[in-house]
Structure 1
Amino acid sequence: MEKERNHKRQQRVSLSTVEWQAVMDHLTRNADVIAEFESMVPEWISALVGNQGSSIKHRNGTDIIPDIDRNGNVKSGLPYSLTEFQLGTARRKELLSMTKQIITEDHINQTKFQTESCSLENDVALKFGCPIQVVGISRACCRLVACPRLNLDASRIDTNCYHITKQGELVNSPGKSQSSDNHKFQMYWGTCSSTLIDLTNTLPTSQYWEIHSDVGVIKGWWRIVLDFGVVEEAQVDRERWVCYQPRSWCVCLEDCDIHNGVCAKVFKEKEHVNCFPDAVALTSGTQATLHYGVVLDVGRGRVSFIDLNREIVLGKFDVVFRESLYPVFGVTPRWDRYTVRMKLVSGEDIAMTETKRDLIYKAVS
């Protein structure tokens, strides 16, 4: 009987250890997105590793990190209660009540965070004259992101190859001339924003805009399909594509022999940094809609690119900018190979989502 009792006790200890470790592993993996524990992370790691006799409580008083006696036995806390429930020694009503309290309080806190962030966005937007987004709320590390109004500069494009529609789309087909030849770009296959981004701008921290493009494959296989990014003012019209220009940071959609398709390639100052395959399939008749975002922080010296379709950060670079910057937007002149319609989305036209906030936060962190 004593042997059987010891065996059951050992089973209970093993079960408690497994349950506790599973909970701790889950919290560790998700600590940056679980509002419940984000302010406690350093404390509960310290409590678990360095101070076995301590206890941390939820805001409503429920023990999260359990009390542990000198023999290492868990005496209280949510993981302990879960273990006791599985062993049949805790009542379902008690566990359910405690869990409901935690969930209810977290919902209240999340609502409070969202209300406060909306109020902050509105107040700052009135001051700076453009929409302001707050990212990092769920991580208790907020950052302000401005969404200034940007427009494609129709006076810069070569109308023998391109035109800008009434809807503000840059299209790779001829259009009517809208400016004198001496104002058009002589080299770059595209245009820039009509607004130069000054290094002394007073907007808070980062700025954000998006590029939405519809690409159709006719024959394919003609080098670069489109590009976008930022380039220092003096370098903006030095080459056909921004990726070949010095002091530039960009994403190019380019035919790729290695991956046998159109890949999203990231460049910094003419250097190819990374390649993301399968942006567009190289099959005649293929139609693809692509959504990208650019996050620029001239104060900190960082530029980042995100793929909104794949929900990933393509690249982020820390830079010492020397001159004011132009956002640039290029499309292939070979309309017989690809059809391209590129739209710059900025200001109030940006439809912000929690997924975008999360990607922007990753880009600026």
Structure 2
Amino acid sequence: MPRCYCWRMDIFPKCSVCQQQFVLKGPAPYLLPCLHAVCETCVTSAGAGVISCSTCQREVNLTDTRLKKDAVRQKEIFHLTAKHRPTELLCTHEDDSNQAVCWCRQCEELLCEYCQNMHSSLKPTRKHVLQNLSDFKPVVSNIPTPCSIHNPDSLYLFDLRCNILICGRCRFEDHADHEVEKLDVVAESILKQLDQHKTELATLHARQQSNIQNIRRGTEITDTTHNTLKENIGHTFRVLRSQLDQREEELLTDLEGQTKATKTSLRTQLNTCEEASKKCSEVLDYVTKVLTYASQSDLLELESSVREATRAFLDTAETQTQDIPAAVFNTNGLSKLKSNISRFGAVLTKDMEKQYARDKETQTEHDFIAEMEIKYKNSIDENENIVKRASETTHFMLGLLNECDVHLLKSDALDKSMVLKCIHLKYDTDKINLDEAHINTEGDLINSKSATRSARKGRLKKYRGTCSTIPLPLTDCPQYWETETRVGLDKTLTGSILILEVGVCAEGEMDMTSYVARRPHAYSLIVRHCTTHEGICRVTWKEGKEVTLHLPYTIPNTAGAPHTLHYGVVYDDARKKIVFIDVKEKKAISTLDNVDSSQPLRPVFGLYSAPVVTVSMRLVVGSDINMTEEKKAMIVKALS
């Protein structure tokens, strides 16, 4: 009984118009500009010369666009058939209808058992590589294609003017004065471009997946917030049930409406992200197939199509990280509740609640309640517009409270760009260079070797310090952290001696040298002894170059008691800025503009020059940061 392969047919690619699966001896696949495939039957029978791709709903006018056969999918179908439906493959050497058992790479032919034995015994073919169909794997074949004009001369040159492959004889006849390049050189250049496309698409796809998870988490948090507020409202009104039944019902209705609106918005964002991720995954998948199956000549045919499809996604993709919405139940006016029962209670955002609290400090209870009533009455007519304009921003800010400490840089600006996240960074103990540094029992980073060293893949070997456990997220609002460093000198310093470095760097460039300041994707503040000033200076670096004048005499260049250096770092991906702050001197040292965040950036912490200098660096993050109004104003000024 013949073996059944029906259950495996789902793995074969489908026509994006008729949804029929491609098979080895069926209609050939053609490549659409969107990189989806359409079968030859649909191409020849297209009504009015227009094909509509059902996968992405893009229409293609065949009178303006000449479709090419999809060589990559043809080879994919061939390899899938060899793996899952080998009985359909017959010997092509003698066309004797015998079952094929192997594939010759050099001849590009399927061989039956008889032809295989003959192939291996004949002198011209005995050294050919034969691959059994049972373990058939994709291998890119670069067998030269014969010239259609000067057969059997091979096409090994690419005419840059005519944009075609030519042979040596063509070069000296019709293409004598044209600029040409060898096929393997052109193909290698295209291969590098495709690798770059794959990397960029993979990064985008990962961010989209992260957005999807964040939105889903937002829905869960919204449900949790809803349940918590519902319980609080219920408890409050059970105490005053005789007078508050009606008001309770109003508030619960308001809560349900806000929750529904939030979840509807999240569902819309989720659907949008999932659709974008799906389309990106399809292009990424095809680029991967091209890298797996395409020959050099295929690469020339596909390069422009893949480039256009990739750029279309990368130029329009939205990679903004989504944040979690939240809400609170405001209970201002409890002391006057019975006399003001119709006014009591509201489902507010936390920022609105804080504003009401500030107003109340300068008012009597009666005045405050009356003003609240006026505000609510006036807001009814504009409620829909207010919610539409503010909900996304306020939910964004309130959602941050579930993750870390946040501060509003301007009390009168309800804006993402004015929310400062004091993020919870941690030293990465798995990456720390244990030959140069260690973390003591208090959690401080010390510039001396670790007493015990554990071998671990990925540990830094050149950079003298460590980095944060995770890269900085893209949040559309400023992020902030501080370092407090104790520095002690055993003797007066001479020469160019590094003491410490704080900043950010692209992960791939972090371990290229002992400090990252000179790297092209790094932004840092370093403290070192300077031969120009014969003192200890601070200087900031951007992408390998010094960008500020030296600030000398940071600490005295004398041996003795240790000194404390306290620096803050603001990273703002929306404004593309990094600000370095001297917390002790209460001033911004430097603001770096046009920060390149195309690659994920990690905070870095370097310590140097042991045993001449003793350096102990403590991370100050989250609620440990003393965020004063003076410091907020300094940050606002530096970012403006």
Structure 1 segments unaligned to the other structure (5+ residues): 1-107
The equivalent position to 1:346 in structure 2, one of 589, 597, 621, is: 621
Matches within 5 A, 1:222-241: 223-241=497-515
1:327 aligned residue: 603
Corresponding position of 1:309: 584
CA–CA distance in structure 1, aligned partners of residues 421 and 476 of structure 2: 7
Alpha-carbon distance in structure 1 between the residues aligned to 2:628 and 2:448: 33
TM-fit CA distance, 1:205:
0.6
Q: Does the 8 Å CA contact 2:397/2:419 hold for their aligned counterparts? A: no
Q: Residue 285 of structure 1: CA displacement?
A: 1.1
The CA deviation at 1:305 is 0.7
Cα separation, 1, equivalents of 2:544 and 2:635: 24
Partner deviation per Cα, 1:79-99 (whole Å, 9 max, x = no partner): xxxxxxxxxxxxxxxxxxxxx
Question: Higher RCO, 1 or 2 (CA under 8 Å, sep at least 6)?
Answer: 1
Identity of aligned residues (%): 31
* Cα shift at 1:257: 1.9
Q: How far is 1:113 from its partner? A: 11
Alignment match, 1:263 = 537
Match of 1:194 among 469, 473, 496: 469
Deviations 1:38-83 (A, max 9, x none): xxxxxxxxxxxxxxxxxxxxxxxxxxxxxxxxxxxxxxxxxxxxxx
Match in the other structure for 2:379: none
Instruction: Confirm or deny: 8 A CA contact 2:433 2:463 kept in the other structure.
Output: no
Question: Any stretches of 5+ residues in structure 2 without a counterpart?
Answer: 1-354, 363-393
Q: In structure 1, which of residues 130, 133, 137 is the aligned counterpart of residue 411 of structure 2?
A: 137
CA distance in 2, matches of 1:139, 1:311: 23
1:173 maps onto 2:472 in alignment = no
Q: CA deviation at 1:347?
A: 1.2
2: distance between equivalents of 1:362 and 1:284?
37
Judging changes above 3 Å, is the alpha-carbon distance between structure 1 residues 177 and 301 closer, same or farther for their aligned structure 2 residues?
farther
Quickly say closer, same or farther: Cα 1:135–1:279, change in 2 above 3 A.
same
Structure 1 residues 154 and 140, CA gap change in structure 2 (3 angstroms): closer
Asked if the contact 1:155–1:179 (Cα under 8 Å) also holds between the matched residues in 2, the reply is no
Paired residues for 1:77-226 under 5 Å: 111-112=358-359, 124=398, 128-137=402-411, 143-177=418-452, 179-198=454-473, 201=474, 203-219=475-491, 220-221=493-494, 223-226=497-500
What secondary structure, in the 3-state scheme, does the structure 2 residue paired with 1:279 have? coil
Larger Rg: 2
1:227 corresponds to which letter in structure 2? E
Q: How many residues in Structure 1 have an aligned counterpart in Structure 2?
A: 250
* Structure 1 position 173, deviation (Å): 1.8
The RMSD of aligned alpha carbons is 2.9
Post-superposition offset of 1:110: 11
Alignment check: 8 A CA contact 2:476 2:573 kept: no
TM-superposed deviation, 1:328: 0.1
Contact kept in structure 2, 1:228 and 1:327, CA below 8 Å:
yes
Q: Report which of the two has the higher share of strand.
A: 1
Q: Which amino acid aligns with 2:470?
A: T
Q: Is the 8 A contact 1:121 1:134 kept in 2?
A: no
- Please report how far the alpha carbon of residue 139 of structure 1 lies from its aligned counterpart in structure 2 after TM superposition: 8.9
What residue in structure 1 maps to residue 547 of structure 2? Answer: 273
| Number of the residue aligned with 1:247 | 521
Query: In the alignment, is the contact (CA less than 8 A) between 1:306 and 1:363 conserved in 2?
Result: no
- Counterpart of 1:361 in 2: which secondary structure? helix
Residue pair 1:228, 1:252 contacting (<8 A) in 2 also:
yes
Superposed CA deviations along residues 127-180 of structure 1, whole A, max 9, x for unmatched, are: 551111111338998811111110011222222321102222100122244542
Q: 1:336 & 1:277 partners in 2: Cα distance?
A: 23
Please state whether the residue corresponding to 2:559 is helix, strand or coil. coil
Cα deviation for residue 339 of structure 1 reads: 0.4
Q: Aligned with 1:237: secondary structure?
A: coil
Question: In the superposition, relative to structure 1, how do residues 153 and 238 fare at CA in structure 2: closer, same or farther (>3 Å)?
Answer: same
SS at match of 2:637: helix
- CA distance in structure 2 between the partners assigned to 1:114 and 1:295 by the alignment: 33
